[in-house]
């Protein structure tokens, strides 16, 4: 594509919505009346309209408009690339390895896409990579995943201190300001599915919380939410890897944090029943073969899956007592 063909959509993207509502309506009307109706072969403003819709998070309308653009001008490179960004799996396209970037005041996804991916119009896949529904709503202090596969060199990972500063928690800030910064930082990490980072922020918030429990009203429920999401995600990952035992343990921990955690509630009952019964059966075989140490370990693993599983509790206590007697005989 020629540089001039990209100039208008890129400027529209980076302007952050500087065009007024009336101008946007005029653009929409002109696109519909001068192109959709007349059937002209090419109109760059039509692709610009797709960019605007995508930037505002109007995905369904953008999808329909993009189909019409490509039907009329299938060789439009920008339109074809936007279609690709909407259709590909962002994790497969950009890779699972990433660093993080804390958004500064005035930054947009277009600017960050240009910086890290080499093209401002890659804001669509960067938004999808970060589970952002509305690319125009980027907040200072929000942390974004930046794929290591980016064509521009990524910055080093921002730490929690930088994120809190971006959210207004400067030196000398009040407890209320610092607490609000922590709350927003944790919620941004949860929204971006960065649950490990969210847990780190929760632990740090606990250490920095003022005496008297002033933060407890928001920190306690937010911590439960973070724990539930973290273990739920770990459970799904383990399930995908075929590790049923690890998945069952993770789902149990998710349900301990939030009994209504949907994926854990769906998978845990049947999964835990199968896993703990398999572990118990294997432990019994070792117990009968007088391999007490292995049997005890297997029952402890079954109790990790379900702490209330009575067969494992009873047999484990019996095996521990027998092990104590064997050890005593060996010392006499």
pLDDT value at 29 more than 60: no
126: pLDDT strictly greater than 80 = yes
Contacts of 30 (CB under 8 A, 6+ apart): 45
Across 24-33, 103-112, 203-212, 283-292, least confident range = 24-33
From the centroid of its chain, how far is CA 51? 24
Write down the pLDDT at residue 289: 93
Sketch out the chain's domains with CATH numbers.
3-87 (no CATH), 92-214 (no CATH), 246-331 (1.25.40)
Residue 150 clears pLDDT 60, i.e. is over it = no
Q: Do 301 and 245 form a contact (C-beta atoms < 8 A)? A: yes
Q: Where are the beta strands (DSSP E) in 111-176?
A: 143-147
**What's residue 138's pLDDT?**
80
With 70 as the cut, is the pLDDT of residue 311 above it? yes
pLDDT number for residue 220? 93
Residue pair 94/145 in contact (Cβ under 8 Å)? The answer is no
Give the pLDDT confidence of 214-266 residue by residue, as tens digits.
Answer: 898 899 999 999 999 999 999 998 988 899 999 999 999 999 999 999 899 99
């Amino acid at each position: 594509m020629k540089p001039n063909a990209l100039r208008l959509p890129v400027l529209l993207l980076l302007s952050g919505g500087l065009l007024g509502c009336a101008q946007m309506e005029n653009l929409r009307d002109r696109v519909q009346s001068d192109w959709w109706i007349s059937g002209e072969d090419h109109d760059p403003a039509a692709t610009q309209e797709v960019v605007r819709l995508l930037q505002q998070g109007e995905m369904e309308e953008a999808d329909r408009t993009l189909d019409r653009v490509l039907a009329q001008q299938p060789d439009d490179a920008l339109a074809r690339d936007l279609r690709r960004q909407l259709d590909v799996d962002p994790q497969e396209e950009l890779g699972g390895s990433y660093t993080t970037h804390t958004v500064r005041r005035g930054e947009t996804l277009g600017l960050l896409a240009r910086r890290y991916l080499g093209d401002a119009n890659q804001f669509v896949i960067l938004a999808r990579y970060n589970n952002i529904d509305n690319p125009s709503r980027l907040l200072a202090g929000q942390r974004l995943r930046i794929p290591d596969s980016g064509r521009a060199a990524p910055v080093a990972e921002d730490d929690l201190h930088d994120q809190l500063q971006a959210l207004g928690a400067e030196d000398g800030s009040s407890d209320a300001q610092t607490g609000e910064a922590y709350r927003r930082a944790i919620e941004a990490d949860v929204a971006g599915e960065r649950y490990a980072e969210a847990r780190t922020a929760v632990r740090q918030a606990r250490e920095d919380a003022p005496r008297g429990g002033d933060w407890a009203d928001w920190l306690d429920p937010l911590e439960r939410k973070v724990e539930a999401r973290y273990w739920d995600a770990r459970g799904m990952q383990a399930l995908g890897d075929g590790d049923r035992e690890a998945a069952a343990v993770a789902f149990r921990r998710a349900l301990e944090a939030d009994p209504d955690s949907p994926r854990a509630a769906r998978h845990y009952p049947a999964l835990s029943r199968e896993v703990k019964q398999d572990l118990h059966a294997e432990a019994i075989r070792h117990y009968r073969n007088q391999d007490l140490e292995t049997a005890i370990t297997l029952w402890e693993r079954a109790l990790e899956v379900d702490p209330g599983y009575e067969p494992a509790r009873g047999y484990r206590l019996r095996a521990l007592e027998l092990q104590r007697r064997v050890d005593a005989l060996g010392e006499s």
